[in-house]
A and B are shown apart, each in its own frame.
Chain A
Amino acid sequence: MADISANFLGIKSPNPFWLASAPPTDKKINVLRAFEAGWGGVVWKTLGSQVKNVSSRYSAVNYNGSRIMGFNNIELISDRPLDINLREIEECIRLFPDRAMIVSLMADNTRESWHELIAKVEDTGAHGFELNFGCPHGMTERGMGAAVGQDPEIARMVVEWVMEKATIPVITKLTPNVHSVVPTGKAAVEAGTNALSLINTIQSVTGVDLDTFVPNPYVAGKSVFGGYCGPAVKPIALKFLATISQDPTTRQVPISGIGGISTWKDAVEFMLLGATTLQVCTAAMKHGFRIVEDMCEGLNNWMDEKGFATINDFIGLSVPTLTHWEDLDINYHHVAHINQDKCIHCGLCYIGCEDTSHQAINLSYGKPYNTYSIKEEECVGCNLCQLICPVEQCITMVEQRKGDEYLNWKDFQRLGLALNDH
């Protein structure tokens, strides 16, 4: 059995799965249920200035009959009184001393406010802070949340205020509502943050009601931009995470990965790109806390299979394989191959290639079943047909190098090699 426990800046948790700062970590009853279910830690829903929430708060994007491919919220930070939150945090720590208790903070934009909030929260015995520089709605209008995270210099200033006061580890949470998370990440690291977490939600409009003409979620005939999360944002989160893992400054600190993590496989992907702990929200909101069971078991089995004893053995392992486009090997070539024994004759590969790609698939008419085969000389190896094919391992990509040696675009140009002729 592999050891799946995490040690994040000395904050220990029996597994790397934390609940992200969000509605599931808003109060004691939820957090105790989460700990009972087996979650390794929680990031308590953001504490700070007093707010009031509206109804409704969430909306979603469904896809081909699957519900909540993407999820959107317009909820603000905790709207409960600070003293109740602090008392409950303390109780949760006392009842589950082996779990990580991180508290998310978003104070008013003054040094005093931050210092005051930090002192109060530290009194609960919390293990760490997460600075909410990412909330994209409601708080930004007051100069908080993403308004801080989108400006590296403001972020630097706030992190400096926090580090003056904090005596427990500080994680700075980054907003993805920027063209790059690296400048703010760098500023936070330079200002002394002990760790980074990302991503927060992405500004979105999930849809418009075709009867009322009002976008969702609906609040008395109006709506606002919300924060998008769930499985749909995972690829975007992984990209932002990778840039933090590549940058020489930001890669110095541990990272807590967030963004659409629903399964142990998602978690492993985040870890391979540099995350030490994983934060989950949407998947738990959709299925309940019990999903952590398979996340732990799946991670454990995968680590055993791969021979990894601890999670530190593979964190960041995939980062070096992400390179620059101009360093890719142009001589690498593969072509599609259709296994006729597995083919169900749905024709999806054919029409995708014929209409939108390279006309590299032959159609031989049959009634009712057509036969499809690859025109290898036309196939550019784009993967489209393989991605479309509904049958596992029916279309495979077979390597057919154009040359033995590694050849990148820079060399290609330097050597004056021939471009495509059709």
Chain B
Amino acid sequence: MSIQNNRLAPEAYERNFSDVHPPFDKKEAALVEANRCLFCYDAPCMKSCPTSIDVPKFIKQITTDNLKGSAHTILQSNIFGGGCSRVCPVEKLCEGSCVYNLMHEAPIPIAKLQRYATERAIAEKWQLFERKPSTGKKVAIVGAGPAGLSCAHALSAQGIDVTVFEKEARGGGLMTYGIAAYKVTPRFCQDEVDFITSLGGITIEYNRELGRDMSIPQLQDGFDAVFLGIGVGLARQLGIPGEHLDGVVDAIEFIYNLRSTSYSQVAVGDRVAVIGLGMTAIDAATQAKRLGATEVTIVYRRTQEEMPCTQVELDLAMLDGCRVLWLAAPKEVLGADGNVTGLVCSEMELGAADSSGRRSPVETSRTFALDVDMVIKAAGQMPFQSLVDAAGLENKGGRIVQANGATSVARVFAGGDCVNGGREVVDAVQAGKDGAAAILDYLRATEITSPDTAMEPSAFNNLAPALPDLS
């Protein structure tokens, strides 16, 4: 009983981390579903998408053999449309509001169709966007995650020269480092980043960290505007005894390791407790199981009614054999020789509703102990408070305060998890778009195109095409 790597045979890793939602096998399969789409007007699916992808249009375009147009429709609203088709919790977004639900029929598999339409675009590097001539304006973006790259793409398309500073060695942010490997592969994440930057006008400087390698004043000096898409990073601490023991790890760190090394190199315990029940908790729990842990227990202090993950995600964990303990809160991590040996939990009960509208868990006097050798903390992530404070950015508990994309510091804009505290990838993409729009407004970079010159009536003569000779 210990934390160790290399628990499984190579083929078992392969199987456990293969695509959890496989794509359509072939065109015919996609067409059956695409043709079911009713092509709703002012479609609920579109309104439920934070990036407002015109879902009926892109699905219609699949049916008309206009795959290029379909990919363009998706990506012009959401440049991470490929990745989002794999990681979005669509059951609470587009698919959750598909009108077929109201007929008690299966909704259109929008994510799967979106993957179908974008997969070839990214794999075959279709040039769907054209960059306007350079305006000479320069914008610095901090963070090559969904918010930063979405902002970069939107700005560069308008002729802005963009430099992205990324502290990691690869782009994609949490898409690359923070999401279960059975949803997106590292290869796909890299392809997606390459696809986005293939527009031109975007330079990513890797291994460059804000606060360490450069400061906001420096960026203000060198660029016309700055966009912060720095996300959140640090796992929320539990603040309980034993948290320092070997075997207590952050979910983000655990997933980061999993995403940046080979699966067999990632160590996991025999019996693992995961604290929390958000998407990251699910990703950590299922992957711990898939790495070979014999027993994975998710500890959540409220009930299924209040859980932040979707039912689909919970089912995924349950089907993987993970156990959930409802109304249980960690109280103390037990250890021996510096290693985790157990987790003491308090039994909770629900009290009055809190500010989120959910009923607050209240501690009872009853406790129980779990026999575990690893504890994964997934109770949310903390914003980069000290970094934000040091830069003099107005913030609320580390979350940057912004109005229409602009922060309290001149020429500095922000969006994504660093502003909202941590939401879906698709929310960050929209925040990047909003930030780009705000910056463009600020730079007055949007040019008014003049209408086409009207034709003289005489110019209509001789416009009939000549038909081919039949002789």
Top 3 closest A-B pairs, CB basis?
Answer: A347-B41, A65-B35, A368-B44
**With an 8 A cutoff between CB atoms, is A346 at the interface?**
yes
Q: Is B353 close to A, CB under 8 A?
A: no
B interface residues (Cβ-Cβ under 8 A, vs A) = 31-32, 34-35, 38-45, 47-48, 63, 97, 99-100, 102-103
B39–A348 touching, CB < 8 Å: yes
Question: For residue B33, which residue of chain A has the nearest CB?
Answer: A65
Residues of A close to B48: CB separation below 8 A: 368
Most buried by A among B41, B48, B102: B41
Instruction: Determine the distance from Cα of A344 to Cα of B102 in the docked complex, in whole angstroms.
Output: 6
> CB distance B35 to A345 under 8 Å?
no
Residue interface bits A368-401, CB-to-B below 8 A is 1, else 0: 1110000000000000000000110000000000
Q: Are A64 and B99 in contact (CB under 8 A)?
A: no
| A-B contacts, 17 listed (Cβ < 8 Å) | A65-B35, A65-B63, A344-B100, A345-B99, A345-B102, A346-B43, A346-B99, A347-B43, A348-B38, A351-B42, A367-B47, A368-B44, A368-B45, A368-B48, A369-B44, A370-B42, A390-B38
Given contact pairs A65-B63, A391-B103, A346 touches B38 in the complex (Cβ within 8 A)? yes
Nearest-neighbour CB distance to chain A for B402, whole angstroms, equals 23
Say yes or no for A17: interface residue by CB 8 A criterion. no
Alpha-carbon distance between A222 and B34 when the two chains are bound, in angstroms: 33
Contacts known (A65-B63, A368-B47); A344 close to B42, Cβ less than 8 A: no
Contact partners of B41 in chain A: CB under 8 A: 346-348, 350-351
CB-defined contacts of A346 to chain B, threshold 8 Å: 38, 40-41, 43, 99
User: Cα distance A391–B102 when bound, in Å?
Assistant: 11
Residue of B nearest to A346 (CB): B40
Residue from the set A346, A363, A370 with the largest chain B CB neighbour count within 10 Å: A346
B63:A64 contact, CB within 8 angstroms: yes
Count of chain A residues near B, Cβ 8 A: 16
Residues in chain A within 8 A of chain B (CB atoms): 64-65, 344-348, 350-351, 363, 367-370, 390-391
State A350–B43 Cα separation when bound (angstroms).
Answer: 12
For B31, the chain A residues whose CB sits under 8 A away are: 65
* Nearest residue, chain B, Cβ from A355: B41
Given A344-B102, A391-B103, list of 12 further CB < 8 A pairs? A65-B31, A65-B34, A65-B35, A345-B44, A345-B99, A346-B41, A346-B43, A347-B41, A348-B39, A351-B41, A368-B47, A368-B48
Flag if A344 contacts B35 (CB, 8 Å). no
How many angstroms between the C-alpha atoms of A185 and B32 in the bound complex?
A: 44
Set of chain B residues within 8 Å of A368, measured between Cβ atoms? 44-45, 47-48, 97
Residues of A within 8 A of B100 (CB): 344
When the two chains form their complex, are residues A369 and B97 in contact, meaning their CB atoms are under 8 A apart? Answer: yes
B97 touches A348 (CB 8 A): no
Task: Give chain B nearest CB distance to A18 CB in angstroms.
Answer: 34
Residues on A with beta carbons closer than 8 Å to the beta carbon of B38: 346, 348, 390
Q: A220 to B260: give the CA distance in the assembly, Å.
A: 57
Min C-beta distance of A331 to chain B, whole Å: 33
Q: Look across to chain A and name the residue whose beta carbon is closest to the beta carbon of B96.
A: A368
| A66 and B59 alpha carbons, distance in the complex (Å) | 17
Please name all residues of chain A whose beta carbon is closer than 8 Å to the beta carbon of B102 when the two chains form the complex: 344-345
Task: Determine the residue in chain B with the shortest Cβ distance to A347.
Answer: B41
On chain A, the residues within 8 Å of B32 by CB distance are 65
| Closest B residue by C-beta to A389 | B38
In the assembled complex, the Cα of A363 lies from the Cα of B40 at a distance in Å of 14
Query: In whole angstroms, what is the CA distance A364 to B32 when docked?
Result: 32
Residues of A close to B97: CB separation below 8 A: 368-369
Measured in the bound complex, the distance between the Cα atoms of B336 and A204 in whole Å is 85
The residue that B103 contacts in the complex, of A344, A348, A367, A369, with Cβ under 8 A, is A344
The distance in angstroms between the C-alpha atoms of A350 and B39, with both chains bound, is 13
Asked if A347 and B42 sit within 8 Å, CB to CB, the answer is: yes
- A-side contacts of B40, CB under 8 Å: 345-348
Kindly state the separation between the CA atoms of A200 and B57 in the bound complex, as whole angstroms. Answer: 39
Q: For residue A351, which residues in chain B have a CB less than 8 angstroms away from its CB?
A: 41-42
Q: In the complex, A2→B103 CA distance in Å? A: 37
B63 close to A344 (CB less than 8 A): no
- Roughly how many angstroms separate A164 CA and B75 CA in the complex, as a whole number? 74
- Closest B-chain residue to A64, C-beta based? B35
Kindly list chain B residues whose C-beta atoms are within 8 Å of the C-beta of A363.
Answer: 42
Looking across the interface, which residue of chain A has its beta carbon closest to that of B65?
A210
Q: Which residues of A contact B44 (CB under 8 A)?
A: 345, 368-369
Q: Give the chain B neighbours of A347 by CB distance below 8 A.
A: 40-43
A321 to B42, CA, bound (A): 41
Give the nearest-CB partner of B41 in chain A: A347
Complex Cα spacing A114 to B64, Å: 50
Residues of A within 8 A of B43 (CB): 346-347
Q: Identify which of A65, A344, A350 contacts B99 (C-beta below 8 A).
A: A344
